[in-house]
Chain A
Amino acid sequence: GQQVMQIPQYQHVQEGEDFTTYCNSSTTLSNIQWYKQRPGGHPVFLIQLVKSGEVKKQKRLTFQFGEAKKNSSLHITATQTTDVGTYFCAGPQAGTALIFGKGTTLSVSS
C-alpha cells in the first residue's frame, strides 16, 4: 500500500536558525497536506498543495510540492519557540483516507 515517509524524524535548532522537513510518497499524489501537532495537542491543518511544482508561503513557512507530485517539503525561516511541535505530511490513498507520515519533531532552544 501507499507509504508516506518523512525525514528527519527529529530536529533541534537554535532559535533563529532555519528548519526543513522532507516528505516522500511511494505513489503519485493528487494533493498533499501538512499538519502541525503541538506537544500534548492534536494535529491542526496548515496547508494543502495540489499542483505540480506548487509553492505556497505562510509568513515564515514555505511549502513545496514536487514536480512529480511524489514529494514535498516544509521550510521554516528563522525559527521561533512557537514553531515547536511535530509536522506531518499526509496524502490521500486510493480511497479518500489521508495517510500520514511519522512526522518530524522540531525542538527550538532560545
Chain B
Amino acid sequence: DTGVSQNPRHKITKRGQNVTFRCDPISEHNRLYWYRQTLGQGPEFLTYFQNEAQLEKSRLLSDRFSAERPKGSFSTLEIQRTEQGDSAMYLCASSLARTGSYSGANVLTFGAGSRLTVL
C-alpha cells in the first residue's frame, strides 16, 4: 500500500476558475476526510465520508465546495468560482472505523496535500 495519494500536488489558478482535487485513500480504510490548512494554523475540518456516504460537513464549508466519494474509494473535492481566500493546502486523510468501538479508533493517515494558489 502506498498510503494516501493526492493529486495534483500543486495548483495555481485564476480567481473565478473551478478546481478539482483527487484523493486516493489507503485501500482498506472506510473513512475519508478533507481538511484545509493555512500557514500557521492547524488542519481545519471540511467534510468526511464513511464509504460513499458523506456523513458530516463543517458549517464553515461554503456552498462553492463540494466533495464526492462515488464508489467509496477515491474522493474528489471541487471548488467552484475560486477566491483568493481559498488559497491553502487541502489535506486528505483516511482511517479505518471499526464497528462497535469507541470513536478513538479514528487515527488519521494524511496524504501529502494539494496546495492551491488563487491569483
Contact = CB atoms under 8 A, between A and B. Distances in A.
B107 A45 contact: yes
A42 interface: yes
Which size bracket describes the interface of B in this complex? Answer: 20 to 34
A55 B102 CA distance: 19
B46 to A, nearest CB: 9
B42 interface: yes
Interface in B19-67: 31, 33, 35, 40-45, 48, 55-56, 58-59
A98 B106 contact: yes
Interface residues of A, number: 25
A96 B48 contact: yes
B103 A92 contact: yes
A42 B97 contact: no
B118 interface: no
B106 A96 contact: yes
Contacts of A30: 102-104
B42 A88 contact: yes
B42 A31 contact: no
Contacts of A98: 33, 45, 106, 108
A8 interface: no
Ordered nearest first, which 5 A-B pairs have the shortest CB separation? A31-B104, A100-B42, A42-B110, A95-B56, A97-B45
